[in-house]
Amino acid sequence: MCTVIIQVPASSDGIVRLLAVRDEDPGRPWRPLGAWWPHDYPDAVGVLDVRAGGAWLGADPVRGRLAVMLNRPDSLDVDPRTLESRGGLVLESVAGRSPRQPRTAGFNLVEVHGATVTVTTWDGDSIGIEELVPGTHMIEHHDVDDPGSARITRWLPEFQDAAPRGGAVHDAWWADWAVILERSGVLSPGDDAAIIRDNRAHGYPTLSLLACVASVSTDAADVRFAPLQTPGEWNALDFVPPVQPE
């Protein structure tokens, strides 16, 4: 039940701002934001899913591309072992190839190219593509700005009021959004409105593990990450650039 907050600029030369919180099974190994695919995707940086080899979030820092994956309920009635990993779609998107015939479980894939933001959805039956209008939006495991989501209803107005204005790609623009994230952290992680989450109360083995912030323009993507010290529990986040794999 990941969460993404994204600001879409009003002009084609504007900057997209994104805050993404990742929920995952703490027992599933991962690596922090870095260049983990030197042969297949040499221009990509991302958060590596060690088990399947894909990414939860990925970006091309030079070409101004970014993609982040959120799970979505689907109608598939197949053996999950026959499905491909959704993380591969993130890397393909960053390389400029959006999904059209996925062989995966359901998803919401947020794709950023320059100042354009689209959300590609897959429910097991059909693909949907929505280009987001200028403004600040919030996405989790259903529709964009879903009014039926306690999380979105509670926090989207605050993120909209605190949306960053102006600044360059590399500015520390995320301070006001981080304050809102900190305030959300006082909620029980099992609360429907929580952003820093423990989803075991809802029947899923996932907890919030880390957050990323990103600024994307037509020719750059600045991405930073910060882990939670304890899964599902808030701590002050120090966003740092991608690591350099050994």
User: Which pTM was predicted?
Assistant: 0.95
Q: Please give the Cα distance from 85 to 10 (Å, whole number).
A: 34
Give pLDDT tens digits along the chain (246 positions): 899 999 999 999 999 999 999 999 999 999 999 999 999 999 999 999 999 999 999 999 999 999 999 999 988 878 878 899 999 999 999 999 999 889 999 999 999 999 999 999 999 889 999 999 999 999 999 999 999 999 999 999 999 999 888 776 677 899 999 999 999 999 999 999 999 999 998 888 999 999 999 999 999 999 999 999 999 999 999 999 999 876
Q: Please give the Cα distance from 23 to 6 (Å, whole number).
A: 17
Q: Please give the Cα distance from 233 to 61 (Å, whole number).
A: 30
Q: Which helix (H) or strand (E) holds 60?
A: strand 55-60
pLDDT of 172: 84
**Amino acid letter for position 11:** S
Tokens of 206: 């996932």
**Amino acid letter for position 162:** A
- Domain ranges in the chain are 3-227
pLDDT of 161: 96
CA distances for 164 relative to 167, 168, 195, angstroms: 8, 11, 20
pLDDT of 168: 67
Q: Please give the Cα distance from 156 to 39 (Å, whole number).
A: 39
Query: Could you tell me which of 203, 70, 38 has the C-alpha nearest to residue 139?
Result: 70
Query: What SS3 state is found at 130?
Result: strand
CATH placement of domain 3-227: 3.60.60.10
Query: What SS3 state is found at 82?
Result: helix
